[in-house]
């Protein structure tokens, strides 16, 4: 359900007009009179859905779920991603909270990474170089971690997180914390959008100037940047969720 909400929040956030220039999905975007980033996002998420169904089928039995495939395989690659993220989440949020929120975390990482990396493929526009997409992701994370904080701590307990441990500084801390939290979805969206737009621009420039051999290092750099940006966004999401649901001692000292 959370994955569906994430998909919907971004799918309906893009502008209603397609961009110019040839791309593989440009004709569909023009025909439907919607932005090409929306089409690309839906295309990537559809591939992820198919990949998830394939993985689920391969791991449907107990033996298949326990015994890994031999060599490098589709399943082993995805499980390596999952294990890396799970261990990171445990170190940040703890085992108990990771089990609750890992589905969202791994979905968020995969959606961002593959929507980043598709821009490396000639003829595709990365949805994450559009502010509508990245800001929708940031707003989704903002609403989600605050909702979880209120659900776990209660409204009063969640508000106490904004007050700090010292009573006479509580009004000042409240203002600072409210501003800090309010800019989080914007900073998440702008950071992801800015980095992916810059990477895509550099790759496009060098591909236009020298279409052969020279752009290869920039393609490798693009894949690396795609991973790093997905990692940073997901890491911050873990921190925000972990902080929101963590029980603190708010007694003044």
Q: Where are the domains of the chain?
A: 75-245
pTM of the model: 0.84
Q: What is the pLDDT of residue 73?
A: 72
Distance CA 228, CA 11 (A): 23
| pLDDT (average), residues 143-159 | 94
Residue 25 in contact with residue 40, Cβ under 8 Å? yes
Helix, strand, or coil here: 125?
A: coil
pLDDT band at 64; cut points 50, 70, 90: low
- Highest mean pLDDT among 11-25, 29-43, 180-194 belongs to 180-194
Q: What is the mean pLDDT of residues 76-84?
A: 83
Neighbour count for residue 23 (Cβ, 10 Å) = 18
CA 220 from centroid of its chain's CA atoms = 21
Which pLDDT belongs to residue 95? 92
CB-based contacts of 49, cutoff 8 Å, min separation 6: none
């Amino acid at each position: 359900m959370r994955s569906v909400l994430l998909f919907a929040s971004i799918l309906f956030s893009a502008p209603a007009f397609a961009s110019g220039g040839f791309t593989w999905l440009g004709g569909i975007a023009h025909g439907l009179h919607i932005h090409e980033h929306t089409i690309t996002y839906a295309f990537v998420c559809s591939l992820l859905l198919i990949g998830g169904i394939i993985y689920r089928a391969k791991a449907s039995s107990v033996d298949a779920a326990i015994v890994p495939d031999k060599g490098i395989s589709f399943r082993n690659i995805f499980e390596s991603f999952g294990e890396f993220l799970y261990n990171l989440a445990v170190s940040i949020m703890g085992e108990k909270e990771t089990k609750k929120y890992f589905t969202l975390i791994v979905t968020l990482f995969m959606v961002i990474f593959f929507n980043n990396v598709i821009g490396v493929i000639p003829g595709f526009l990365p949805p994450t170089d559009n502010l509508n997409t990245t800001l929708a992701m940031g707003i989704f994370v903002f609403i989600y971690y605050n909702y979880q904080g209120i659900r776990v701590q209660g409204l009063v307990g969640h508000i106490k997180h904004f007050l700090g441990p010292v009573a006479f500084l509580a009004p000042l801390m409240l203002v600072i914390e409210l501003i800090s939290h309010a800019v989080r979805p914007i900073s998440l969206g702008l950071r992801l959008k800015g980095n992916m737009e810059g990477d895509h621009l550099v790759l496009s420039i060098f591909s236009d100037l020298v279409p052969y051999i020279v752009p290869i290092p920039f393609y490798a750099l693009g894949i690396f940047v795609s991973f790093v940006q997905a990692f940073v966004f997901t890491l911050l999401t873990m921190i925000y969720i972990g902080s929101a649901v963590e029980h603190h001692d708010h007694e003044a000292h």
